[in-house]
Structure 1
Amino acid sequence: MTSTIVTRGAPPRFRPSTGKIVSIALLAIGGAGMVAPFLWMFVTSLKSGANVYDLPPNWIPLEFNWNNYVVALNGPLPLLKNLWNSVFIAVLGTAGVVITAPMAGYAFAKMKFAGQNVVFMVLLAALMVPVQVTIIPLFLIMRNLGLVNTPWSLILPAVTWGFGVFLMRQFFLTMPNEILEAARIDGAGPWRTYFSVALPLVKNGVSALAIITFLNNPFLWNAYFAPSIFLNSQDTATMPLALVLMRGPFATGQINVLMAATAMIVIPALIVFLLAQRWIIAGMTQSGVKG
């Protein structure tokens, strides 16, 4: 009996194609361009006042001056109060959108009512109107309600966010109608079908909606224009307004202290985005399956 010896050569080496190398290089350059402003902000927030305007600029501080954060918190502005105002408004506004937008999106996607298409077209048209156009009548409404210079003047308009309704409608459109029909056959009413069947199936969409609302709603965390109209005191100001006040007349404020205060508002948003980016990607991908 003869035995056959099979020899195996070394595994082939992975050789990336030229296209992949170029793509990775371009992505690396683009990523560096996106990270650079954040890195410059954190570096500047740790510099002393004498080293802020060094030329050529130093990307590594000569000394780490953490006292800038203490100066920012103990300055003439109630920065902790302003930070709390931003958190309070953003959290309640986001919670309101997460409650109302899925309901409206479900109604547009899976229910039939008179004038449904007309109402939805009006909603889409409203998305094209910038907040600057509607700010005057909105201000008059809030003034008549006695809500100017209160957090509710920003929370209430934020809750009725048309983009959130449109986004959730796209999620519900991807849901097979047979699932809802099965729930109705089993005796579930409209509310039971929505809460027990439909809503759990779009949890990725709700997560994505919450994060997008928190960061991008024109009345919440990163907003400046609307708060500058509705809020008119230092105690009720949000962090974006406080940062503008810290600049001082003709931007004569301490840039290192200002960057420390800016880091305080950027860090929470950055943490939220980094922890929840997979839900954003999964949610946006799911919403684009069916239009």
Structure 2
Amino acid sequence: MNTIQENFHYEHQTSIVNNTRLHYVIAGSGDPIVLLHGWPQTWYEWKSIIPTLAQSHTVIVPDLRGAGLSDKPKTGYDKLTLAQDIYALVDQLGFEQISLVGHDIGGMVAFTYAGEYPENVKKLVLLDLMIPGLGLENIMDVANGGMWHFGFHMVHDLPEALITGREHLYLDHFFKTLTYNPASIKEEDVAEYVRHYSAPGALRAGFEYYRSLLEDGKYNQKYKEQKLNMPVLAYGGEFSTGDYLRQSLLPVANHVEGGSIPECGHYIAEEQPEFLIKVLTEFLSASR
């Protein structure tokens, strides 16, 4: 796989969707698969799995609005608007049906996308996240053992003021503490993310993903009334969300499989790329 990566050409493109310029990487040919990144990451989090997937699929890997080389407008960070961005991109590229993979914030976008455009999603893969309205609120409850950063990121203006100029210190904290093996995310990878989140408006945009979470949770209640009917694969890292994600989806999806990935924290695509490639290949090729 390393040899494939070293010789691999990533084609960078941009498109205007919803009056917002989105940057994306596209590679390969065949049935389309869209990969959506989390925070504090960009399309780059998928770099270790794109070359293999591109041998059998057209792989489309956007920077979400607000991240990487995409525009960073003042508004539009609720997961419905982000899903509309990606749907417009897919439509512009001429694909009527895709397989969709989302991690962290990108997984929240992927879930909303599948709920809004079920006929457009052939298969759905969600990786290490909690869905707003379906259990995320528990992990946001700091008083009962929840994760502190959800509340901190929701405060307007203060996080940006405190972190600007200290982006490496702040972002590296998450990569070091939310991985099973911190060495799995190399210093050059951290530097890539820090470079993008140090750009003007990038920190604010990243925190806006969080500031809309309660609104997202209210909106997602509608999906309990009409279950997802496409096959869904849901995995969490053993040392992160584990099997909780799969279980949380059972009330809202008819066909869910997956579980917990051993020796893995939050950043699945970078901590366990071989495992992820294996399960994705099997899931995408299965006739179900």
The TM-score, its normalising length taken from structure 1, stands at: 0.21
Identify, as 1 or 2, the structure richer in strand.
Answer: 2
Return the structure number with greater relative CO, CA threshold 8 A, min gap 6.
1
Identify, as 1 or 2, the structure richer in helix.
Answer: 1
The TM-score, its normalising length taken from structure 2, stands at: 0.21
Larger Rg: 1
